[in-house]
Each structure stands twice: as structure tokens, then as C-alpha cells.
């Protein structure tokens, strides 16, 4: 049974982890750039805005890029106060101009001190962890640290805090885990970037959204009743049984089954089990 499920999911990873997947997915936004900082900035922004229709998400990200003159990192680091007026018109669902301006303030603050956004996810004290369950703990610490650091500027708007989650809030942190997947995973398939190396692919936690959650429950990969951080950890632990070095590659399979194939047929379950 386990071998059948692994083989089935591996085949779906192969089907969706390829360049043809990029065009209709928010990951297409950071793929518009080659400069590392632009990839990081727009990857983070695309992940943050990733709720609703994917077409709308992609279009809103492209609008944001246009408002920053097509060069996000350069705009963030070199803009004058008057240049920010054009961003007052930007809005996506509950993300508005106040949030946009704070994101720009944070990025400028961070890149004044570091060359990569990766450093924002690394706690000041390195924690030595070993087994797979402790690997989950490493990412939990990284995400909790990032949220604290992200809102460390004295003028941060309280309303913006809802857009950046953390495990300490019991959130699945779907958007942040997806962003980490894009930045950290390394393969030759051309979707994920693999430009960070301080977090290992084996330590990543699954981005657990509605589609992934639904399909995973149908496959018996999740038993926890609620959907929260521990649910994402449970799912990741199950997927580590299939590939300890790269468990979140199965995001391609589970998300693809959920949104591309709108999967819910019992026929496939009968074939597997």
C-alpha cells in the first residue's frame, strides 16, 4: 500500500514539477527576474498575495512590479519619498497601500544590512538539531523569528501583521512554507530556485492549503482533525517516509491533484489501496 502511494505521488511530482507548471502559478512572478534580490522580494510578495484566483494573483503581482518601475530591489533601495505616491493605488483583497509601504520599509531596512533575505529567517543563535522531528522545529524557529524580525520596525502597522503568519499563532504558514520551498529546494526541473543554503530541503515543512489538506486527508496522510501548524508537520512527517531528503517535493503532487485535476475520485483510491 505504501509503495503504491509513493509510486503514485512520485509520478504526479514528475508530472507537475516542470517548466510548463510555472506559467499559471504565482511562482512565475520571481521567474521574471535574474537578480537574486528581485527573486527574493517578488517571491515573498507573490507568496504573501497568494490567495484567490491564481490569474488574479499573478496580475496583481505584475501590477506591483510595474508600480516599482520593473525593478523592485532598485526601487526599494533608491526611491525618494515622492516615488511612493504611485503605490498608494495598490490593493489586493485585504492587502492595501499601508501594507505595501511597510513591506518596502522592511525590505530597505533589511537589505541595508544583508545581501539576502535568507538571513531574515536565521535566528541569531544557531540551534543544533538532528532527527527529522527536530528538523520541523528548526523551520518553526525560523518562521517565528522571521515574523518577530519583520515587525521589529517601530512604525509597523498593526493591520499588516495579519499578512505574515507564524507557527506560534498555530497557523499552517502555507504562504511562508511555499516561499521557503521556492527559495530552498534544489533540483534540475526549473520550478524552484534553490538559491538559499542555510536551510536544507530536508528541513522544509509542507505548504498546507485547502487543496493539499483535502487531497492529503483522502489519501490518509493527515489524521489530525483541525488544520494548523501541527497538521502541516504531521503531513511532512508522513511524506518524509517517502523521501527524507526532499519531503516537500510532494507539494507538486498534492497541489496538482487538488487544483489542476480537482481530484476527488474514489476510483484512484481503489487502485492504490
d(CA 136, CA 2): 22
d(CA 227, CA 27): 24
Checking if the pLDDT of 74 tops 90, the result is: yes
Instruction: Give the three-class secondary structure for 94.
Output: coil
pLDDT digits (tens, 9 = 90+) for 202-248: 999 999 999 999 999 999 999 999 999 999 999 999 999 999 999 99
pLDDT, averaged across the chain = 92
Question: What does DSSP assign to residue 93?
Answer: T
Checking if the pLDDT of 191 tops 80, the result is: yes
Using an 8 Å Cβ cutoff, are 187 and 16 in contact?
no
What's residue 124's pLDDT? Answer: 76
What's residue 132's pLDDT? Answer: 55
Read off the pLDDT of each residue in 15-36 and give the average, rounded to a whole number.
96
Read off the pLDDT of each residue in 239-263 and give the average, rounded to a whole number.
91
Within 10 angstroms of residue 72's Cβ, the number of other Cβ atoms is 24
What's residue 131's pLDDT? Answer: 56
Sole residue written with cell 495598490 = 90
pTM above 0.75, yes or no: yes
What's residue 238's pLDDT? Answer: 97
What's residue 259's pLDDT? Answer: 81
Closest CA to 108 of 81, 90, 126, 86: 81
What's residue 136's pLDDT? Answer: 75
209, burial (CB in 10 Å: exposed 0-12, middle 13-18, buried 19+): buried
Read off the pLDDT of each residue in 239-258 and give the average, rounded to a whole number.
96
Instruction: Give the three-class secondary structure for 95.
Output: strand
- pLDDT confidence of 266, banded at 50, 70, 90? very low
Checking if the pLDDT of 272 tops 70, the result is: no
Checking if the pLDDT of 26 tops 50, the result is: yes
Amino acid at each position: 500500500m505504501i509503495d503504491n502511494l509513493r509510486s503514485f505521488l512520485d509520478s504526479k511530482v514528475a508530472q507537475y514539477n516542470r517548466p510548463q507548471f510555472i506559467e499559471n502559478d504565482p511562482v512565475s512572478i520571481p521567474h521574471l527576474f535574474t537578480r537574486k534580490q528581485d527573486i527574493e522580494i517578488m517571491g515573498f510578495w507573490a507568496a504573501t498575495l497568494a490567495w484567490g484566483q491564481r490569474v488574479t494573483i499573478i496580475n496583481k503581482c505584475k501590477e506591483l512590479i510595474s508600480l516599482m518601475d520593473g525593478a523592485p530591489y532598485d526601487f526599494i533601495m533608491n526611491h525618494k519619498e515622492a516615488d511612493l505616491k504611485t503605490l498608494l493605488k495598490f490593493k489586493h483583497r485585504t492587502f492595501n497601500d499601508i501594507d505595501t509601504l511597510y513591506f518596502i520599509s522592511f525590505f530597505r531596512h533589511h537589505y541595508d544590512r544583508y545581501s539576502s533575505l535568507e538571513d531574515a529567517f536565521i535566528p541569531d543563535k544557531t540551534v543544533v538539531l538532528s532527527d527529522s522531528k527536530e528538523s520541523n522545529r528548526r523551520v518553526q524557529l525560523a518562521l517565528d523569528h522571521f515574523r518577530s524580525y519583520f515587525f521589529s520596525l517601530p512604525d509597523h502597522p498593526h493591520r499588516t501583521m495579519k499578512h505574515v503568519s507564524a507557527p506560534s499563532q498555530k497557523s499552517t504558514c502555507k504562504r511562508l512554507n511555499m516561499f521557503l520551498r521556492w527559495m530552498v529546494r534544489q533540483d534540475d526541473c526549473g520550478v524552484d530556485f534553490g538559491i538559499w543554503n542555510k536551510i536544507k530541503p530536508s528541513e522544509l515543512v509542507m505548504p498546507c492549503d485547502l487543496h493539499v489538506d483535502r487531497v492529503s486527508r483522502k489519501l490518509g496522510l493527515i489524521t489530525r482533525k483541525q488544520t494548523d501548524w501541527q497538521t502541516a508537520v504531521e503531513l511532512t512527517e508522513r511524506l518524509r517516509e517517502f523521501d527524507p531528503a526532499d519531503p516537500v517535493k510532494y507539494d507538486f503532487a498534492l497541489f496538482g491533484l487538488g487544483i489542476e485535476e480537482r481530484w476527488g475520485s474514489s476510483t484512484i483510491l481503489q487502485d492504490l489501496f
